[in-house]
């Protein structure tokens, strides 16, 4: 009886560990690339709950956008989608009325 119980506990433990390690196969920082359109991104990640719009009014900015801010013309509207993933916070940037992904940043 003890042997069966011990085997059962080990089986449950291994099952639990293996199912925990199966986390999402999707790795947003790798599966999403520049040039994808919004529909393709939604197919991979689903719709985001966090969307915001910003306009470039000057050349000074702090935060992750400083990496590409100089490439965006003044007055341009920027749509930012944010996803919270196991890898960190993924930010996707669409410029103007384009549905094409222009920039992405993964904040860990």
Whether the CB-CB separation of 59 and 66 falls below 8 Å is answered with no
**91-99, long-range: CB within 8 Å, 24+ apart, which pairs?**
91/64, 92/32, 92/41, 93/65, 93/68, 94/38, 99/37, 99/38, 99/39
Place of tokens 């009325």: 97
What DSSP line would sit under 13-56, residue for residue? Answer: HHHHHHHHHT--S--HHHH--TT-BHHHHHHHH---SEEEEEE-
Domains of the chain by residue range: 27-107
At a CB cut-off of 8 Å and minimum separation 6, what does 24 contact? Answer: 85, 86
Second-level CATH architecture of 27-107:
2-Layer Sandwich (3.30)
DSSP 4: H
pLDDT digit string (tens) for 37-80?
999 999 999 999 999 999 999 988 888 999 999 999 999 999 99
- Residue 102 is predicted with a pLDDT of 98
**pLDDT given at position 59:** 87
């Amino acid at each position: 009886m003890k042997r069966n119980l011990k085997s059962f506990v080990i089986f449950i433990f291994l099952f639990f560990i293996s199912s925990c390690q199966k986390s999402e196969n999707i790795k947003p920082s790798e599966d999403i690339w520049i040039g994808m359109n919004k529909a393709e991104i939604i197919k991979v990640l689903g719709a985001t709950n966090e969307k915001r719009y910003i306009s470039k009014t000057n050349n000074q900015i702090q935060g992750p956008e400083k990496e590409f801010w100089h490439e965006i013309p003044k007055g341009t509207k920027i749509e930012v989608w944010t996803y919270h993933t196991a890898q960190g916070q993924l930010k996707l940037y669409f410029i103007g009325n384009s549905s094409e992904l222009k920039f992405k940043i993964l904040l860990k």
